[in-house]
Amino acid sequence: MTEPEHDLPRRTGTGLPRRGFLGRTAGLAAGAVLLDALAAPSSSARPSGSSPVRTQSGLVSGVPAAVSGVTAFKGIPYAATTAGRNRWRPPQPAPSWQGVRRADTFGDAPPQASTTLTMSEDCLNLNIWTGATGGRERRPVYVWLYGGGFSAGTGSDPSFDGSVLASKGVVVVTINYRLGALGFLATPELSAEDRHGVSGNYGLLDQIAALKWVRRNIAAFGGDPRRVTVGGQSAGAGSTGMLSMSPLATGLFRRSVAESQVRYPSDPELRYLGVSLRRMDTALEQGPAYAASKGANTLAELRALPWSKFTDGASLKDETVDTKSVAKPPLFRPVVDGWVLPAGYMATYEARAQNDVWYLAGNNLDESGAVPETAFDYWRSAGYPDRPGAPPVHVTLDDYVTAARQKFDAMADEFLALYPAANDDEAALASNDAIRDNSRVSTYLWGTEWTKGAGRPVYTYFWTHRPPGPDHDIRGAYHGSEIVYFFGNLYPGTQGWTDQDREIADTMSSYLANYISNGDPNGPGLPKWPAYRPGSPTVMQVGEHYGPMQVASAEKLRFWTRYFATQDAW
């Protein structure tokens, strides 16, 4: 991370004009190829290299990806199975193999509540997409961490296909990491057997182990181990933020991408999310209680149970957290353990102890409880989505006012004067306005804290495009709707994508490819994306329109800043 950025090559890798890494016409063509290929595998694609690639565990061979000239390597183990004695232990080295391993099939997903995934505890595998023709190239690397509240997700999700980004000169890596209780259980007995005296962050240790694997092996795939970017959405964005604070990840990557859930530490919205860090003492109380619910009183008894007993993380709430709302965070999530995470968000920022990495972070129009106007009647009928990590949705006057008084207490009257409502529709609109201001202001204020201890550039965004499809009127620009546009792959192909969607996907994936390459999303033919500046409360709108916008009016910015100052920092 200490190499000066101007020493890095700024070539595009493909030599194509416009759009940074990929020209407009070529970009749209690549997106169309990938869209068709995901609907029906292409037989015309050709691998970028036919020779096996040597990793530290053995030789692997790839298969043609969805875009011609890109090779995919699927299901490569980066660590050993987590079953048996390795359950609730740091990841162990991957076993070696003889001959050439054909990496043509995704590996098992981490155990979770799913009826469609092939799952097992031998799940610590990763996938690579590369357009490099050999190991002599040094392309920038993007390591992607999925979301899912730390209780669901897999690196093999088709939304994360890296073919288009790889065609724009990036080596893309998606990984699996442990989830739920298998990833984040803490107990005194587990801490006692650990050489650092801690427990509870096995999923984060998996991510760090994957980054170490990338550091040792990615050059063979044409990647540059000195130019690694880590990115993710939701819990993956939270993981990115935690790795950006963890001393164990220092030097393993240079840049961060966080799609949603980057918040100011004193924002109560942070508290119901999966990224609301647990205190070690709280986690050590919750762990034995959870074990007892499974009929296990000892660690040996817990390890003897089948993994299917531990897939309930998505249904378990942490009732100990006062979120200033009816929402509650997932029970199993990362822990401030003094080792992987020495301190929480604000304490880390105040100590200037974060890793000095570039940062790109943002939020979406219709998330955190904001919903499209066309969905008001739906939510009045459906009611609050009562699940861990889900935000409350306020679309009636009574609910809106009640929630405001719970959240803002002595400042509630001032809030209701700034965001007034006299009936249900006005309340739903006012709630949307407040939620969107909250998210933009919160990320802006986070930036003021982050940049005090990190000297690299920061870029922030606000995603506003509502994808087509059956959920357009209900979900809008929902939580996670930006992912396929950033990847440029518009999955699934049956969703009714338009020329506008393909243009947006080309633009967003070009922004991302440029940022991964040189720390700046800007490039030829792209709308100018200004860097974040403390004291300039603006954010880059992307998606439906492009350009800087105010995070909130001056009066509302002052209100949110004063309100956050009354809250305890996380």
How is residue 73 written in tokens? 């390597």
Point out which residues pair with 172 in neighbouring strands.
Answer: 129, 142
- Assess whether 367 carries a catalytic annotation: yes
- DSSP tag of 272: G
Contacts (Cβ under 8 Å, ≥6 apart) of 554? none
Closest C-alpha to 487, from 64, 165, 230: 165
Query: For the chain, how are helix, strand and coil distributed in percent, rounded to 5?
Result: 35, 15, 50
Amino acid at 232: G
Active-site pick, 121, 137, 367, 482: 367
Closest C-alpha to 160, from 203, 130, 119, 129: 129
H-helix segments, 168-234: 180-184, 188-193, 202-217
Active-site pick, 167, 191, 234, 266: 234
Distance CA 146, CA 230 (A): 11
Between strands 59-61 and 53-54, the pairing is: antiparallel
Distance CA 514, CA 229 (A): 11
Active-site pick, 156, 246, 269, 479: 479
Distance CA 97, CA 78 (A): 13
CA separation (Å) from 128 to 70, 143, 182, 494? 10, 9, 25, 25
**DSSP calls for 224-236:** EEEEEEEEEETHH
- Assess whether 479 carries a catalytic annotation: yes
Which residues are catalytically annotated?
234, 367, 479
